[in-house]
């Protein structure tokens, strides 16, 4: 069970802004060893890299429509720090970790982040949106695991360390929706809990980074099926970003969003710091947490000054941090059992596959995108042909049975 830790983000002492810039070499740390690193340390690195990129892009967007030089100056200052932080974090990934291995880790982030956020989410509607996306990322993990085996002959568990299961869920071929169906109801900013808003922003940022990663790297494989699978799953990630960003209240101001972004960073660096097992990397989380506390307080003051709103009133005096990367196997299986056949319907709801009307808009969309073959199905078929009787899923299940047996011998977990 999660052990919540609490901090007062508006009063906790941070690192002064003028002391946050680093030299080229001070900012670059040695990469982790890809087979030695804890899977969830790698997940934290991927997550925080994505969050930093989101904060940087949001800051640029804000700067492009901020008419006040004081605001633009603070944006420029804090953004440069975010840039350096992002570089430090992303450069922790080792050069010998292939694009596909990193992809497996991205999907592990997506699965265990979404699952744990959903398990903690008080808003029942938001929780179901998260559950819906969870099963899709879970299925992507299975398809990419097959691709990893096909292209590199590697078991995805070398990356996942058996902390996240490899099983089919809602088939990726069914993830392609008429785009407007992805639009969901948004939270109401006056009444939504700060934690709900942080969950949405965190997940949206993580999915945006996943989308960008697939778009930026999918072309780097010479194999046609690999290229096609990246193209197909990248498009689902595009749908996911549409889905999660639609959960945000559109009446939030740019300044309010800026404070939220900083608070999201504090929230996430804090759980990274609390749960990190590698002392060297823990030190990075600690340092960045204290940088972000300063950013948050500076932007909180700006909100007070420019919009007359107290950040403590908007987001609460205290920040309770519940999240951690951990196994969610039972929960994911439960969601698969209940919601594998769930599909999106307009407006804002869901329906079981066998109840869908004949004119369900996504049928038409799928007929177009799936017309010339479905890469996510083709990779499984090709694997079955290649390794008849020895498919990845079968092997993954075998590993699971062995682990369970070992766990039972050791007296359970």
Partner 1 sequence: MERQVLLDKLSEFLMVEQGGLELYRVAASRAEIPELRQRYEEFGRQTARHREVLTRLIQQLGGDPNYVSPTARAAQVKAAKLVESALVVDGLAPIEIQISDLENVLLAETKDHADWQLLSQLATQPIDDAVKQAVAAAVKEVEQEEDRHVEWARQTLGQLCLQMVTQGPAPSPERWMMVTSGPVPPIETLNPSPVLDGLLPPAKEPAWQEATVARAMRAGA
> Which residues are near partner 1 by CB under 8 A?
1-2, 4, 67, 118-129, 131, 184-193, 195-196, 247, 249-251, 309-310, 312-314, 320, 322, 330-331, 334-335, 338-339, 342, 348-352, 355
| Cβ nearer to partner 1, comparing 193 with 225 | 193
Please, what is the minimum distance in Å from the beta carbon of residue 132 to partner 1? 9
| Cβ nearer to partner 1, comparing 117 with 205 | 117
End-to-end Cα, the chain, rounded Å: 13
Please, what is the minimum distance in Å from the beta carbon of residue 225 to partner 1? 34
| Cβ nearer to partner 1, comparing 156 with 303 | 303
Cβ-contact 202, 264 below 8 angstroms: yes
Per-residue CA distances from 174 to 118, 184, 218, 350, 406 (Å): 22, 18, 21, 14, 36
Q: Collapse the DSSP code of 240 into the 3-class scheme (helix H, G, I; strand E, B; otherwise coil) and give the result.
A: helix
Q: Show the tokens assigned to 38.
A: 């804890």
| Cβ nearer to partner 1, comparing 91 with 331 | 331
Q: Which of 43, 53, 48, 88 is nearest to 267 (CA)?
A: 48
Please, what is the minimum distance in Å from the beta carbon of residue 230 to partner 1? 30
Q: Show the tokens assigned to 229.
A: 């699978």
Q: Show the tokens assigned to 174.
A: 């069914």
| Cβ nearer to partner 1, comparing 310 with 404 | 310
| Cβ nearer to partner 1, comparing 148 with 247 | 247
| Cβ nearer to partner 1, comparing 302 with 380 | 302
| Cβ nearer to partner 1, comparing 185 with 282 | 185
How far apart CA 19 and CA 8 sit, in angstroms, is 22
**Which residues are bridge partners to 344 per DSSP?**
350
How far apart CA 116 and CA 298 sit, in angstroms, is 30
Please, what is the minimum distance in Å from the beta carbon of residue 47 to partner 1? 19
> How are beta strands 5-7 and 349-352 bridged, if at all?
unpaired
Cβ-contact 50, 210 below 8 angstroms: yes
Q: Show the tokens assigned to 212.
A: 């960008």
| Cβ nearer to partner 1, comparing 67 with 153 | 67
Please, what is the minimum distance in Å from the beta carbon of residue 307 to partner 1? 12
Please, what is the minimum distance in Å from the beta carbon of residue 234 to partner 1? 27
Helices (H), 218-278: 224-245, 254-275
Please, what is the minimum distance in Å from the beta carbon of residue 176 to partner 1? 21
Please, what is the minimum distance in Å from the beta carbon of residue 116 to partner 1? 8
Please, what is the minimum distance in Å from the beta carbon of residue 122 to partner 1? 4
| Cβ nearer to partner 1, comparing 115 with 379 | 115
How far apart CA 302 and CA 2 sit, in angstroms, is 34
How far apart CA 59 and CA 79 sit, in angstroms, is 7
Q: Which one-letter DSSP state was computed for residue 164?
A: S
Cβ-contact 393, 166 below 8 angstroms: yes
| H or E stretch covering 365 | helix 361-369
**Which residues are bridge partners to 6 per DSSP?**
320
How far apart CA 300 and CA 142 sit, in angstroms, is 42
Please, what is the minimum distance in Å from the beta carbon of residue 349 to partner 1? 4
How far apart CA 345 and CA 43 sit, in angstroms, is 32
What phi and psi, each to the nearest 5 degrees, are found at residue 302? -65, -40
């Amino acid at each position: 069970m999660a052990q919540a830790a609490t901090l007062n983000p508006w009063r906790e002492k941070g690192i002064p802004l003028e002391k946050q810039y680093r030299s080229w070499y001070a900012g670059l740390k040695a990469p982790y060893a890809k087979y030695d690193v804890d899977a969830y340390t790698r997940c934290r690195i991927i997550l925080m890299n994505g969050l930093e990129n989101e904060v940087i892009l949001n800051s640029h967007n804000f700067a492009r429509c901020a008419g006040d030089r004081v605001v633009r100056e603070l944006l420029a200052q804090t953004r440069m720090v975010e840039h350096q932080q992002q570089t430090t974090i992303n450069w922790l990934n080792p050069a010998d970790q292939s694009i596909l291995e990193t992809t497996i880790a991205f999907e592990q982030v997506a699965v265990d982040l979404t699952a744990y956020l959903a398990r903690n989410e008080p808003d029942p509607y938001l929780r179901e949106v998260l559950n819906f996306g969870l099963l899709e990322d879970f299925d992507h993990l299975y398809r990419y695991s097959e691709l990893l085996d096909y292209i590199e002959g590697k078991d995805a568990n070398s990356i996942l360390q058996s902390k996240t299961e490899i099983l089919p869920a809602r088939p990726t071929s069914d993830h392609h929706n008429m785009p407007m169906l992805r639009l969901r109801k948004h939270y109401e900013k006056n009444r939504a809990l700060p934690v709900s808003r942080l969950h949405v922003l965190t997940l949206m940022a993580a999915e945006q980074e996943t989308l960008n990663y697939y778009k930026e790297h999918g072309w780097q494989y010479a194999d046609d099926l690999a290229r096609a699978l990246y193209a197909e799953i990248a498009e689902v990630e595009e749908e996911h970003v549409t889905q999660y960003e639609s959960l945000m209240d559109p009446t939030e101001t740019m300044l309010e969003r800026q404070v939220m972004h900083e608070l999201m960073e504090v929230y996430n660096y804090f759980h990274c710091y609390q749960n990190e097992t590698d002392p060297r990397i823990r030190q990075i989380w600690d340092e960045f947490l204290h940088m972000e506390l300063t950013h948050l307080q500076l932007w909180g003051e700006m909100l007070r000054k420019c919009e007359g709103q107290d950040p403590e009133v908007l987001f609460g005096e205290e920040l309770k941090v519940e999240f951690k990367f951990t196994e969610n196997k039972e929960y994911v299986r439960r969601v698969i059992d209940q919601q594998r056949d769930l599909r999106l319907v307009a407006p804002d709801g869901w329906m079981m596959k066998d109840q869908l009307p004949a004119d369900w808009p996504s049928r038409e969309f799928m007929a177009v995108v799936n017309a010339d073959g479905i890469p996510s199905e083709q990779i499984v078929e090709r694997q079955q042909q290649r390794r008849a009787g020895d498919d990845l899923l079968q092997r993954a299940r075998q590993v699971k049975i062995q682990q369970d047996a070992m766990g039972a011998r050791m007296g359970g977990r």
